[in-house]
Chains A and B, each alone.
Chain A
Amino acid sequence: MHASRVRGTVNGVAVDRDVPNRLTLAEFLRDELGLTGTKVSCELEVCGVCTVLVDGRPVSACTFLAVDIDGADVLTVEGLERDGELHPVQEAFIDEFAFQCGYCTPGFLMMSVALLARNPAPSADEIKEYLDGNICRCTGYRPIVQAVLTAAERLRAGAASGTEEARDAREAREASDAG
């Protein structure tokens, strides 16, 4: 079996190893690195569950060669949380009930992160258009669109007032929700 050298990072961790040419990025992440948060479904780039970011660009890992991450930084759903804190997009998906079985969720999260990186204040229509290539078969799309709107708002508030204050605001909100 033919292989090529891959030097890059996955979720900030350096990767330097020979990888079979035929391996897809999804197979590499799941089977070689044990990062099973990235799912596989249609294998036609239509459903979006295998979305990961390669140098910030969303790609379908089911149809992307693992050897093509050579020299690149890869971000998967496992890389979203920081110091035990979920990413604001993940928090918003929880708060808005934007998933049910959860199989499509990693893909929606990664697409949402990619969208908000290029457009911090998307309209609902822009969100729908960007997520057009992602399929959910249980929750429905409204809470997902709402979650992205909520995440965008919180991220903007965080950027405007500093992350500490955004965290305080979130904790205050959680306390009031609990009460």
Chain B
Amino acid sequence: MLPDFRLVRPTTLEEALAQIGEDALPYAGGTELFIAMRGRLLQPGTLVDLKRVRGLADIRVDDGWLVVGAAATHDAVAGSEAVREHAPLLADVAPGVGNPRVRAAGTVGGNLCFAEPKSDVVTALVALGAELTLASAEGTRTVPAAEFHRGPYWTVREDRELLTEIRIPPAPDRRGVYVKFQTRERPTVGVALVTDGGSGACRLVVGAVGEVPVSLEFPSLGAVDPAAAAEAVDPVADLTESVEYKRHVTAVMAARAKERLEEAVAGAR
């Protein structure tokens, strides 16, 4: 049984921000939070239900930027025309998150804020150069997705802040692929590779193997170096395998990502 808590259900962002604090945690899907609460890892006095906050689950395009509301579910992202058009990489990643029940209830914002080190979504968003909007009663600030996670289950979000939006910059010729290796509930390694299409420069992001995603930049797709990726990661040995194995699989998955992106780019010509 869960520990007891007070429940508030704001309908506006202002009301939500007035409630959120050290002992009043925001929640939407609860797919991670209730597991932590059942284990008494978290025992908040109050939960602030975000599902009734107007606009917080909206997905829209704003001056070319794709804006995903933090309370949008993985299912909503997977089925969104706007996501498919402006950030197909994210649309490809969403249907592979967890299982259909997690995708029906779990949200993109919750995924980011819980900071599970094996999140597919985080890896993809770092590769896409996403920016995250954090709001509080005092104002808002923007944090690059690449700087949001400080460690496992630990982000730069302050207790009184709420992640409201994930903003993905426009790049009409951008192409990306996500490749992961997974035999259990969570991936051993997830690799996102994105080229902006203009200069041909590439960003390779490796997630799941270590505490936070590792990002590498290459001047061209041809220069993408899987061995460099294997060298750069800082794997943690766990149920999904040893440090040595994770390094090895990182190189294999990075090579596959490169191959797949080369095919995608060639197919587009």
Contact = CB atoms under 8 A, between A and B. Distances in A.
Partners in one complex: yes
A51 interface: yes
B101 A21 contact: no
B101 A59 contact: yes
B30 A133 contact: no
B263 interface: no
Given A22-B1, A43-B35, A65-B34, A133 B7 contact: no
What 10 A-B pairs have minimum CB-CB distances, sorted nearest first?
Answer: A133-B99, A57-B104, A22-B2, A21-B7, A63-B34, A60-B101, A22-B4, A58-B101, A2-B6, A59-B105
A151 interface: no
Given A1-B4, A22-B1, A24-B2, A133 B101 contact: yes
Interface in B99-115: 99-102, 104-105
26 contacts: A1-B4, A21-B5, A21-B7, A22-B3, A23-B1, A23-B2, A24-B1, A27-B1, A43-B38, A45-B31, A45-B35, A45-B99, A46-B185, A48-B101, A57-B104, A58-B101, A60-B105, A63-B38, A68-B49, A68-B51, A130-B100, A132-B99, A133-B98, A133-B99, A133-B100, A133-B102
A113 to B, nearest CB: 12
Q: How large is the interface on B (under 10, 10 to 19, 20 to 34, 35 or more residues)?
A: 20 to 34
Interface of B: 1-7, 30-31, 34-35, 38, 47, 49, 51, 75, 98-102, 104-105, 185
A58 B100 contact: yes
B1 A65 contact: no
B98 A64 contact: no
A131 to B, nearest CB: 9
A70 to B, nearest CB: 9
Contacts of A64: 30, 34, 105
A64 B38 CA distance: 12
A51 B34 contact: no
A4 interface: yes
Contacts of B104: 57-59
B101 A65 contact: no
A20 B30 CA distance: 16
B100 A21 contact: no
B155 to A, nearest CB: 22
Interface string A121-164: 00000000010111000000000000000000000000000000
A17 to B, nearest CB: 15
- Among A20, A43, A57, A67, which residue has the most Cβ atoms of chain B within 10 A? A57
A58 B101 CA distance: 5
Contacts of B1: 22-24, 27
Contact of B102 (A20, A22, A45, A65): A45
- Among B7, B35, B100, which residue has the most Cβ atoms of chain A within 10 A? B100
Given A43-B35, A57-B104, A65-B30, A48 B4 contact: no
A21 B47 CA distance: 10
Given A45-B102, A58-B100, A67-B7, 16 more contacts: A2-B4, A2-B5, A22-B1, A23-B2, A24-B1, A43-B35, A45-B35, A57-B104, A59-B105, A60-B105, A63-B31, A63-B38, A64-B34, A68-B30, A114-B100, A133-B101
A21 B6 contact: yes
Contacts of B105: 57, 59-60, 64
